Amino acid sequence: MLQVAFIRQNVDFVKERLGVRNFSEIGLVDTVVSLDEQRKKLQQESETSQSSVNALSKEIGQLMAKGQKEEAEAKKQQVADLKAAIGPLSTRLAAVEEELTTALLRLPNLPAAAVPRGKTPEDNVIVKEGGPMPALPAGAQPHWDLAKKYNLIDFELGNKLTGSGFPVYIDKGAKLQRALIQYFLDFNTAAGYTEIEPPILVNEASARGTGQLPDKEGQMYYVNEDNLYLIPTAEVPVTNIYRDEIVKETQLPIRMTAYTPCFRREAGSYGKDVRGLNRLHQFDKVEIVQLVDPAKSYDVLEEMVAHVERLLLSLELPYRILRLCGGDMGFTSAMTYDFEVYSAAQEKWLEVSSVSNFESFQTNRMKIRYKDGGGKTQLVHSLNGSSLALPRIVACLLETHQTAEGISLPAALHPYFKAEKI
């Protein structure tokens, strides 16, 4: 959520930035400013009256102590009159505040200066391509066929147990998942991230904190009985660890990594895009999250991108890094890099990581602050990224490294998989 004070002072800039996203409800900015003015006015009025009430109450106490009943009664009447006036004022104030919050929640984050203009994924900028492009042998197979051939994943069994989008990993398929998770976590903790195992169900406040609520409840599985949401990403519980906290400057940067299953309803997706491991309702992911000094957040963003890139390189997969254009960025992000790996058999790029700087958009909602050198309390910046989402990595691993003698795994995985081949 953007800060009202910032909007108030930078109306034109805010509108210009939202334009980079092709945000259609630019009028909301003026709405926010006008509601904020109303809020201030109403608040001042009611607080002035409240101040008089407080003073009179104090006087009444003193009069009662002296036994001056009549004077006290007269003041009581004054208080009653004031309170009668405050009543409707505070009702209106509450209504205006609620409208203001609702409007604010609908404003997406402002794209950073370096974010390219654009509407669709075609407008994303390819920053870098790397990794060896595979020269696949004749008869190369897509991952869903390979998964079947080597008995790694049973999609039909998942249909039976749960429904489509819930694959069952079996034998070496299950072992590969475990090896990847372990490898990713080790890779992250070696870089200074603290490992976290969070709950995978979160309450409403947490879902609101990272921006899943309001409006995106349809994308999350919801447990009605307990009013809890299955997490769509570890970002939600992990970032919320510091919700409503004021940390010391010396604690920054806070760096955390977590493996969790992730759950996404993704209603309305059909066809070849959801074939095999391309898009699932439940998948495994290792996430990295950082809370940092605002002045350093863009350096940290680059550092995180470099970190994820090193991880991908070690898997010996063809990849590319995109800087997302305004129109393709998530609601809460100020700048996002996507990582894609090349699925040779499908001849298409698959997103496996998204690394974003949210600046103070999430931390303003969550009230994650720190005391700077001058003793001033201010919001930290939050960032996160996947390192990595497993299914598409598995898809690409199988396809890229397939040989006539089996799947030959990259060296980095040997110690974890305890074998060089599937």
Partner RNA sequence: GGAGGAAUGGCAGAGCGGUCGAUUGCGGCAGUCUUGAAAACUGUUGAAGGUAACACUUCCGGGGGUUCGAAUCCCUCUUCCUCCGCCA
Return the number of the residue (51 or 102) whose C-beta is nearest RNA: 51
List alpha helices for 107-171, DSSP H. Answer: 143-149, 155-161
Of residues 68 through 127, those in contact with RNA by CB under 7 A are 76, 79-80, 83
Taking phi over 0 as left and psi of -120 to 50 as alpha, with beta for the rest, 210 belongs to: alpha
Q: Considering the rule CB under 7 A, would residue 53 count as an interface residue with RNA?
A: yes
Return the number of the residue (8 or 275) whose C-beta is nearest RNA: 8
Of residues 207 through 236, those in contact with RNA by CB under 7 A are none
Q: Considering the rule CB under 7 A, would residue 421 count as an interface residue with RNA?
A: no
Q: How far is CA 73 from CA 45, 57, 58, 80, 324, in A?
A: 25, 11, 13, 11, 68
| Dist CA 244 CA 7 (whole Å) | 22
Return the number of the residue (100 or 153) whose C-beta is nearest RNA: 100
| Dist CA 417 CA 323 (whole Å) | 33
Q: Are 99 and 21 in contact (CB under 8 A)?
A: no
**N-terminal to C-terminal alpha carbon distance within the chain:** 47
Which of 50, 68, 282, 314 is the binder for RNA (CB under 7 A)?
Answer: 50
| Dist CA 260 CA 197 (whole Å) | 7
Residue 2 C-beta: closest distance to RNA, Å = 13
Q: Considering the rule CB under 7 A, would residue 34 count as an interface residue with RNA?
A: no
Of residues 372 through 401, those in contact with RNA by CB under 7 A are 377
> Which region, judged by CB under 7 A, interacts with RNA, from 37-45, 135-143, 189-197, 264-272?
37-45
Amino acid identity for residue 312 in this structure: L
> Which region, judged by CB under 7 A, interacts with RNA, from 15-23, 38-46, 162-170, 326-334?
38-46
Return the number of the residue (78 or 159) whose C-beta is nearest RNA: 78
Which of 22, 51, 91, 194 is the binder for RNA (CB under 7 A)?
Answer: 51
Q: Considering the rule CB under 7 A, would residue 199 count as an interface residue with RNA?
A: no
Which of 9, 13, 16, 58 is the binder for RNA (CB under 7 A)?
Answer: 58
Binding residues with RNA: total (CB under 7 A): 27
Q: Considering the rule CB under 7 A, would residue 61 count as an interface residue with RNA?
A: yes
Q: Considering the rule CB under 7 A, would residue 182 count as an interface residue with RNA?
A: no
| Dist CA 136 CA 130 (whole Å) | 17
* DSSP at 408: B
Look up tokens 């969550």; give the residue.
366
Q: Considering the rule CB under 7 A, would residue 411 count as an interface residue with RNA?
A: no
Which of 56, 286, 325, 341 is the binder for RNA (CB under 7 A)?
Answer: 56
Residue 201 C-beta: closest distance to RNA, Å = 12
Return the number of the residue (55 or 223) whose C-beta is nearest RNA: 55
Q: Provide the mask over 242-261, with x wherever binding to RNA is found by CB under 7 A and - wherever it is not.
A: ----x---------------
147-154 CB contacts, 8 Å cutoff, 24+ apart: 147/173, 147/276, 147/277, 147/398, 150/406, 150/407, 150/422, 152/176, 152/398, 152/422, 153/277
Return the number of the residue (64 or 157) whose C-beta is nearest RNA: 64
Contacts of 372 (CB under 8 A, 6+ apart): 249, 378
Look up tokens 């950082």; give the residue.
290
| Dist CA 189 CA 79 (whole Å) | 62
- Contact residues toward RNA (CB under 7 A) are 4-5, 40, 43-44, 47-48, 50-51, 53-58, 60-61, 64-65, 76, 79-80, 83, 246, 369, 371, 377
